[in-house]
Structure formats: C-alpha cells, structure tokens
Amino acid sequence: MCRIPLRALPNCQIKLKARKSRFLPYFCEISGYKQKPQTFAEHLRKRRLDLGLLQREVAEKLGVHVATYRGWETFDAIPIKATMSKVIQFLGYDPSELSARDRD
C-alpha cells in the first residue's frame, strides 16, 4: 500500500460563515445534562437547555453578568438572596426544597 501525504486545501480562499444552532438535535448527547438533577447547578443547566437558551441569554433575564451565571452552572458560586428569587422564578420551583425532600 502506497502512502502519499496530501495537503488538505492548502490555498483555499473560501471562508465559511454560519450561526451556531441554538437547538441541538434530539440525538446529541449533552455533557452534564441529567434528567433528574440533584445539585443547584444541574437544575439551572437542565432548565436552560430545555428552553434552548444560551448562558448569556439567561444571565440577561436574571440581571446578572454572564460570568456570574456561568459560575452558578459550574458549582463555583451560588446566588445571593436578592438574586435567588429571580432564579426560583426562572426555574419555576425552589431546588433547595426538592433536595431537602429527597433526603427525608
């Protein structure tokens, strides 16, 4: 078998532009997405992905900086009491009440 090195498009002048899809196909596996979330971060991520929103869009809805919201989704931080009411409204429930019920 002969192997010849090929250069893939060495002088290509074409630039492809496309917007990233906001919605993933049903067959895509999303890392960190659980059907039954157990942590605060998992509750936020599940709700955001179910609505097909970007982190930036949720941060704008909640009135926080995108880095702050990103921290909530990655376990680095939790919202202060003043913001927690907006988060509960976004989720539609209080995740701390659910986790307390599950421990009983």
> CA-CA-CA-CA torsion for 42, 44, 46, 52, nearest 10 degrees?
-150
pLDDT 10s digits, 10-46: 666 677 777 766 665 544 545 557 778 888 898 999 9
List the one residue out of 76, 79, 75, 99 whose CA is nearest residue 90.
79
Q: Which pTM was predicted?
A: 0.63
Q: What percent of the chain has pLDDT over 70?
A: 67
Mean pLDDT of 86-100: 84
Mean pLDDT of 76-86: 88
What is the domain extent for residue 85?
40-103
The structure tokens listed for 31 are 């890392």
The structure tokens listed for 71 are 């921290």
Residue 27 is predicted with a pLDDT of: 45
Residue 90 is predicted with a pLDDT of: 95
The reply to whether 22 falls in a domain is no
For residue 49, the domain's CATH number is 1.10.260.40
The reply to whether 72 falls in a domain is yes
* Count: domains in the chain: 1
Mean pLDDT of 56-75: 94
Number of residues that make up the chain:
104
The reply to whether 32 falls in a domain is no
Residue 70 is predicted with a pLDDT of: 94
The reply to whether 2 falls in a domain is no
The structure tokens listed for 91 are 């989720």
The reply to whether 54 falls in a domain is yes
The reply to whether 66 falls in a domain is yes
Can you tell me the distance from the alpha carbon of 39 to that of 47, in angstroms, rounded to the nearest whole number? Answer: 13
